[in-house]
Chains A and B, each alone.
Chain A
Amino acid sequence: MSYDWIIDVLFWIAVVFLVGVYVSWRATRLDRLHVRVETARAALDAALVRRAAATLELAASRLLDPATSLVLATAAHEARTADADGREFAESDLSRALRAAVDQPGFVDALALHGGDGKAVLEELSSAAAKVAYARRFYNDAVSQARIARRKPLIRVLPLAGRAPLPDFFEIDDDPPGI
């Protein structure tokens, strides 16, 4: 009879312990989601840089007419130098410029006439453009899961997210040119 309080105390210790384990598990999970967003963002940035570089390479290759070269070089330069606010617009413009250039009738065939060089530049560009589309999907996928996790009541009440900012989607037109 007099030991009842011990059982009560043990019970509450157990409850506090389980809650602690659960909260720490949730915090670990959220941290992992944030890490995934950062990794995916780094991959996306790398893919965008590579696409701009491949575009500049094509523009500078002397395989194109000067007007097309100018359109591509300008768009690639804008995309590289845009600030955070203008980034999405500049990258979308680059996608459109690439499609406008590559989808000209006979463009791919004309470049193929230059033999290995033309083919290699095109292959590089097509791969870089495809990887931008993939990397953006993977980044937005990670962002949407992190955002869902951040909306959960427990995460809102407890400061489990630390100072990590709520990640934003990256929305651009990334349809690759038809190479």
Chain B
Amino acid sequence: MRAGIVCPYTWDVPGGVQQHIGDLAEALISLGHEVSVITPADDDADLPPYAVAAGRAVPVPYNGSVARLAFGFLSAGRVRRWINEGGFDVLHVHEPAAPSLGILACWAADGPIVGTFHASYEKSRMVSVTAPILRSALEKITGRIAVSEAARTTLVEHLGGDAVLIPNGVATERYAMAEPLPGWRGRADAPHGSGDGGALGFLGRMDEPRKGLQVLLRAFEILGRRRPGLRLLLAGPGDADDVVSRVSPELRDRVVVLGLVSEADKVRAYHSVDVFVAPNLGGESFGIVLAEAMSAGAPILASDIEAFDRVLRGGRAGALFPAGDHEALAAAAGELLDDPARRKQLSAEARAAVRAYDWSAVARDVLRVYETVTDGRPRVVESGLGAP
């Protein structure tokens, strides 16, 4: 399969869509397919070997923030040439509703076109004035993919029709290995004696009640008293002082709040704790944090909400406790801390289970979409001028 992938945002500035495209392109290439990515970028930009620059991106206000997009005659000409010379079996346009290369590519090409929709927003955001302009370009897309239920809802509300759901992949190998953070011993294979009580970890918005930090803090009130050496490592956006003030004074020196951490420190945090706790109360469709912790091989203790139950294979790849029940959390965490064999087993099962969410699995599903839309159809060609 020869796929031409269109990235709407400049490659020079990191972002979710660019990351998605890079991971997908690499997974497709490693499966033996040919991939070319066209993206807004300067001609001398440092691009991966599969990417082609379509010219400098211009910062413009779009959809409530400033996005760096490429449009105009120069970019349109480059996209046309890329399509003409590419000989692609399928064109894969990301965020085709953005006023950038995606819509230019839809305009310039005829043939099997797949569109992936990433963004989700409220109805009022996208002005309906743009709908008729977009429609004639978007109608050329033969297969639509949404990366989340929210993105799919947005798409259906704004443009009608439907899309298949293929969620983002997890770059599991990025989390697989790391040194523990300084001052943390990392996962131990022995039961925890009185000197070292082990460590529990949490990652997520600390001021968002649905993430369930309050449940974990209440469980720590019980556990911390019972286990003198036990420490709690918290990372994620939110007010650190506020969190510490919610802990009893005698336990405060054992609660470490990192706040917002860098990507590298996040990986190290997963490797610093004995049990990673996900006490969410609901509202999660997948739980990217959980998938990251699984990739890192952290033994997991999670609330039994539907999404977690599914990802953790009904408790095989991570222990579950009734959502919101801090006493059950404390009891289950205590058992795990006392049982190194069980932690080791959960760690191995988690690493195996998370492979289903790896980029190679996403690439397999995307390939199935490619095969569905290209079935019996000629490859992508440049469309006649002026015929959108």
Contacts and interface: CB of A to CB of B under 8 A. Distances in A.
A134 interface: yes
Contacts of B365: 130
Given A47-B375, A134-B369, 16 more contacts: A28-B387, A32-B140, A33-B139, A43-B376, A46-B375, A46-B376, A47-B372, A131-B372, A134-B143, A137-B144, A138-B142, A138-B373, A141-B161, A141-B163, A144-B161, A148-B160
Given A131-B368, A137-B163, A40 B376 contact: no
Interface in B148-171: 160-164
A61 interface: no
B377 interface: yes
B136 interface: yes
Contacts of A145: 139, 160-161
Given A141-B161, A144-B160, A131 B371 contact: yes
A40 B375 contact: no
Nearest to A127: B368
A124 to B, nearest CB: 12
Nearest to A140: B162
A29 B144 contact: no
A88 to B, nearest CB: 17
A43 B372 contact: yes
A44 to B, nearest CB: 9
Contacts of A141: 144, 161-163
Contacts of A142: 142, 161
B139 A32 contact: yes
A144 B156 CA distance: 11
Contacts of B142: 36, 39-40, 138, 142
Contacts of A134: 143, 164, 368-369, 372
A24 to B, nearest CB: 12
Interface string A36-51: 1001101100110000
Interface residues of A, number: 25
B309 to A, nearest CB: 15
A131 B365 CA distance: 9
Interface of A: 28-29, 32-33, 36, 39-40, 42-43, 46-47, 127, 130-131, 133-135, 137-138, 140-142, 144-145, 148
- Most chain-A Cβ atoms within 10 A of its Cβ — which of B160, B368, B377? B368
Interface string B330-372: 0000000000000000000000000000000000010011011
A42 B164 contact: no
A138 B372 contact: yes
B163 A135 contact: no
26 contacts: A28-B387, A42-B376, A43-B373, A43-B375, A47-B372, A47-B375, A127-B368, A130-B365, A131-B371, A133-B164, A134-B164, A134-B368, A134-B372, A137-B162, A137-B164, A138-B142, A138-B164, A138-B373, A140-B161, A141-B162, A142-B142, A144-B160, A144-B161, A144-B162, A145-B139, A148-B160
A46 B376 CA distance: 9
Nearest to A147: B160
A28 B164 CA distance: 27
A36 B365 CA distance: 22
A47 B164 CA distance: 15
Contacts of A130: 365, 368
Contacts of A47: 372, 375
Contacts of B164: 133-134, 137-138
A60 to B, nearest CB: 24
A41 to B, nearest CB: 12
Nearest to B364: A127
A135 B143 CA distance: 8
A135 B142 CA distance: 10
Contacts of B160: 144-145, 148
Those 6 A-B pairs whose CB atoms lie nearest each other, nearest first = A141-B161, A141-B162, A134-B372, A137-B164, A138-B143, A135-B372
